[in-house]
Structure 1
């Protein structure tokens, strides 16, 4: 029996675009279910083409989920509100640097991916969809 913990991102109408972007970076299998795939569950009729649930499972075990918030949940925060970050960390320098580089396109770099005072290589960015990401490469050399 296993237990998993993964981020679930809430978007305002661009979940498909964001999840497809993450799929282009992380690879793996992307499943997208629209609101109109299960009638009556949630979302108004004009929201049928929005994403009710998206899930990306990567070959190296990462899972990222996301959905468009329906108008009935307009008061719920979305990814652009901030307050939390998706953190990618490990020891595979080539892969982590590739993720950083790809997610940096169109992003606001809060902290460049470089050697940090505590010894790891670390970077922080807000991607083009408003999602905050932190990257940490354990004992990684600065480049």
Structure 2
């Protein structure tokens, strides 16, 4: 079995962002700071920044992320969206509501021509999302 996991890069706010995603998606969040690996060279300014985070929800979603270390180029995300979908309309609506809080809606979350519900947004951390309520088959 293989697992495909979105891995998000941040500039100095991975802890805040991943904690936000946990508040929206639920699940267990593990945060590992650069200082957790004393043998690994890092800028002392990065000691409490997030080297790796892992969010796993009870319904199988996984999201990972980290801070971009000092000295490495950081490019804000572009040309990619994180897609979350399911048949549970209440769950998808709650995810939409959470992600869109202080974000920018690009396509409202409403009935889609192909059935179900669909919407797109850019969250408060600059990540693009697509949220879909699938039509039960």
Q: Which residue of 1 aligns with 2:15?
A: 16
Work out which of the residue numbers 103, 106, 111 in structure 2 matches 1:107. 103
Q: Which residue of 2 aligns with 1:138?
A: 134
TM-score w.r.t. the length of structure 1 is 0.89
Q: Which moved more, 1:104-113 or 1:32-41?
A: 32-41
TM-score w.r.t. the length of structure 2 is 0.93
In the TM superposition, residue 139 of structure 1 has moved relative to its aligned partner by 2.5
Q: Which moved more, 1:56-65 or 1:40-49?
A: 40-49
User: Residues of 2 paired with 1:33 and 1:59: CA distance?
Assistant: 21
User: Residues of 2 paired with 1:85 and 1:53: CA distance?
Assistant: 20
Q: Which runs of 5+ in 1 are unaligned?
A: none
User: Residues of 2 paired with 1:5 and 1:62: CA distance?
Assistant: 10
User: Residues of 2 paired with 1:42 and 1:33: CA distance?
Assistant: 15
Q: Which moved more, 1:118-127 or 1:49-58?
A: 118-127
Superposition map of 1:44-123 within 5 A: 44-74=43-73, 76-77=74-75, 80-123=76-119
Provide runs of 4+ in structure 1 moved above 6 Å.
none
The answer (yes or no) to whether the contact 2:45–2:70 under 8 Å persists in 1 is no
User: SS of 1:43's equivalent?
Assistant: coil
